[in-house]
Amino acid sequence: MTQFKTLLNLAGDHLYTLPLLVLYLTDGCNSRCATCDIWRNPRRNMPPALVDALVESARRLHTAWVLLSGGEAMQHPEWPAIARRFRASGTHVMLLTNGLLLRKQAQQVIDSVDEVIVSLDAGDAPTYAAIRGVDAFDLILEGIAAVRAGGLPVTTRTTIQSANFRQMPAIIDQAQAAGATLVSFLAVDVSNPFAFGSRFTPALPPDTIPLLPAQPAAGALSPAEVDELALLLDALERDYAAAFAAGRIAESPQKLRRILLHYFRALHGQGDWPRPPCNAPHFSTVVEVDGTLRPCYFLPAYDRLKPGAADLPQALNGAEARRLRHAYRTGQRPECARCVCPLYKGARQLLSLS
């Protein structure tokens, strides 16, 4: 019955189950990234009453996967207990982290989650410090090695931008030397007005969404750098053929060209946006630290749960939530065309999450 209900998610805009739940446990962060200012905000932690309600909602919605995010999830003082509560109900728990606390809390991570996703935005210490604002490159690699020694799978995720695209080979080498199970890449987001918002933003009609800036924002590759990236991706496909074939790099060479090369070219008007397939809002949702709900990282908020009376199943199928799902599904949300982090699950994959 649960699997049948999960398939019904794809038939319309009503959610019957929620295979994936993404939680912003805190909106504080101990990095100082050049492309993000969330760390400037006073830190707020998800309150216990909201966590209690979400654990119960996950049970009612047959949630199979929970992603602990933020901010920096490991700055929430109760994050291990929260992770274990979800695991106790049979949920697969993933921890998305900048890795700064990974080595220090390695045993807690090993004891509390099922897999780890670590941001690794450089292939050497100086570049890491310039991008992330902290001198912690070796610390991150040591943390990866520590949790891998405990048997946990670790994915590194790199946001490609002008400061680090030339280091893609070094990033692969460093991640694999530290024992990472999988290496993944995505493009820096330079245009979305909703992504990783730290305060409630009401849904805007599609025709009011801000257009791209006249000049691409900081982090975007220049036209000359895009040409250089094309050659680099050709070299990656040749030099790392074994890693691609073995599945140690998450994206195929063809996908890397689509999500990086074609994306940065489109920023300069040198081609169409590589509109990616995505149906994430039909099997997942994002809950921010204060209960704000988003269909995904990159679409606007549609509701807010009250910690003492949070009813996620009801909120998921409110009028605004269903309207947003219908709008993105029918191509009415232009920001989806330039999304840097699409997630698509077909019926067979979706059933595997049930």
Q: What is the mean pLDDT of the chain?
A: 88
| DSSP secondary structure letters along 322-344 | HHHHHHHHTT--GGGGG-SS---
- Edge to edge, the sheet with strand 65-69 lists 182-187, 154-160, 115-119, 92-97, 65-69, 20-24, 284-287, 292-294, 303-304
Question: Which comes out higher in pLDDT, residue 12 or 87?
Answer: 87
Q: Is the pLDDT of residue 193 over 70?
A: no
pTM (predicted TM-score): 0.90
- The whole-number pLDDT of residue 204 equals 44
Exposed/middle/buried for residue 126 (C-beta within 10 Å: 0-12, 13-18, 19+): exposed
Contact 117, 95 (CB under 8 A): yes
| Mean pLDDT to the nearest integer, 208-237 | 78
Please give the sequence-ordered ranges of beta strands (E in DSSP) within the chain, or none if there are none. 20-24, 65-69, 92-97, 115-119, 154-160, 182-187, 284-287, 292-294, 303-304
Of 6 and 119, more confident:
119
Answer whether 198's CB lies under 8 Å from 301's CB.
Answer: no
pLDDT above 90 as % of the chain: 70
pLDDT for residue 209: 43
